[in-house]
Amino acid sequence: MNAIIVFCILSLLLVAGKILRTLIPLFQKLYIPSSVIGGLLGLVIFSVFGSKIPAEWQSSIKMIPGFMINVIFAALFLGAVTPKFKTVFATAFPQICMGQMLAWGQYAIGLGLAGLVFLPLFGVNPAFGNLLEIGFQGGHGTVGGVSETFRSFKWEEGIALGYTVATFGMIAGIIIGMIMVNWALKKGYVKEIRTFNERSYMERIGVYGNNERPSAGLQTVFCDSIDSLAFHVALIGIAILIGFGILKGLQSFEVFIAPNAKLRLFKGFPLFPLCMIGGVFMQMFLNKINLGSLVNKEQMQRLSGASLDFLVVSAVATIQLKAVIDNFLPLLILVVSGTIFCVAMVVFVAPKLLKKDWFEKAIAEFGQATGVTATGLMLLRTVDPENKTEAAASFGYKQLIHEPIMGGGLWTAFALTLVFSIGWIPIWIFSCVMLVVWGIIALIIIKRR
């Protein structure tokens, strides 16, 4: 019964969010996603009427983000045609450099502030510094994915704080991103931009016209054998199973080689990065037996998109406001510092590093570095609606290298576990070194031009 109630509640919040976005022009102008609006509505409801809502309903909703992020990462490379590394680096290496500097910079700023300022002044947990990269680069999904890590190391309020950082990052990324878009338009850096006033009414409310509705994917199998959507869902399930097997294998291997060790790197390691590896293995296997063409990327994207909407609405609705209020000042300093850093990277570094179509590429990076990939693509679509620049291809290629590592990838998961296990100082030093290394690479790229 709980599963039915939870599904119905989240469905109501999502549809209510869409209706509110359709009716309120401010939400349209700010490009706030319906899932965030619905989540904020749910947060108000749970905060006001929380004592009257059964606790098991609320606890069940809290479990949704941790599950959905596994679906999103498992679908990431299913159905995708991976280009050659030579093509990726030739097209997107400067953008890879930009993305890496943004991510490592967030670690350097976050861990530095947490360890050097917040720890002595406010007594925060040292892992407070990880929240900047987890929430900004990773978003709500990554926070949900590392929830078990927070629980394993007895810092559950980190979940609420992470969701708060992710919500702030998504909203700030869109609002500040649009401010920078208008700045670039006045400066003459972009010419293909379509302002809010130039959009049709249907575009503003986010609804396709009857003759403009794109396909949600191709059916690749006959329904009398298996429904195509069910087939794609099942492939995601197998990819998650492979990831789960890898995680259990790593945990068992760690115990086998050091049975008496107190430090366990994979004790609280999240599942979702390994689901991504499971998806890669699954696609490779299907390609090997000449069945790779049965996986349709568009269907996988729709399944991933639907999972993200349910993830965000459930994550925002269940933010624990007490944890946010108790840590309000350090949280505010953290997110403002991270936002200023991202803006500075776009304004001062991107023009020299990215050169051609620099603003289109940079605004996509800014969107991803503060919100999620979808935010970056939305901002990119605003400045380059017809894909006349190489920004979309460059951003997509960059993601193939960047996403498996940072912004919810393997390092994001490892860094949190390591801060809990060995302390913040080694991870902060390593992050600073990596930021310097990528900074030097950026200087070499600029000098060679």
Give 283's pLDDT tier (boundaries 50, 70, 90). Answer: very high
Query: In what helix (H) or strand (E) does residue 83 lie, and over which residues does it extend?
Result: none
Task: For the beta carbon of residue 336, count every other beta carbon within 10 angstroms.
Answer: 12
Closest CA to 276 of 17, 78, 413, 88: 78
What are the tens digits of pLDDT across the range 366-388?
Answer: 998 997 777 787 788 778 876 77
* Pairwise CA distance, residues 345 & 105, whole Å: 10
Neighbours of 296 (CB within 10 A): 22
Residue 102 pLDDT grade (very low, low, confident, very high; cuts 50, 70, 90): very high
User: Which residue type does 433 have?
Assistant: V
Cβ-count burial of 445 within 10 angstroms (0-12 exposed, 13-18 middle, 19+ buried)? middle
> pLDDT above 90 covers what percent of the chain?
51
Q: How do residues 163-175 score in pLDDT, each as one tens digit?
A: 999 999 988 888 8
Q: What pLDDT was estimated at residue 388?
A: 79
Sign of CA dihedral 106, 111, 117, 123: positive
Q: For residue 328, name the pLDDT band (cuts at 50, 70, 90).
A: very high
* Placement of tokens 């609420």 in the chain: 160
In whole numbers, what is the pLDDT of the chain averaged over residues?
89
d(CA 402, CA 409): 8
Half-sphere exposure of 258 (CA within 13 A, CB side): 9
What's the one-letter identity of residue 368?
Q
Neighbours of 237 (CB within 10 A): 13
Angle at the Cα of 41 (from 35 to 8), degrees rounded to 5?
70
- Amino acid identity for residue 326 in this structure: D
Q: What global pTM score does this model have?
A: 0.83
Residue 66 has pLDDT above 80, yes or no: yes
pLDDT tens digit sequence for 236-278: 999 999 999 999 998 899 888 878 776 677 777 788 888 988 9
Q: What is the pLDDT of residue 194?
A: 67
Closest to 168 measured CA to CA, from 29, 284, 39, 297: 39
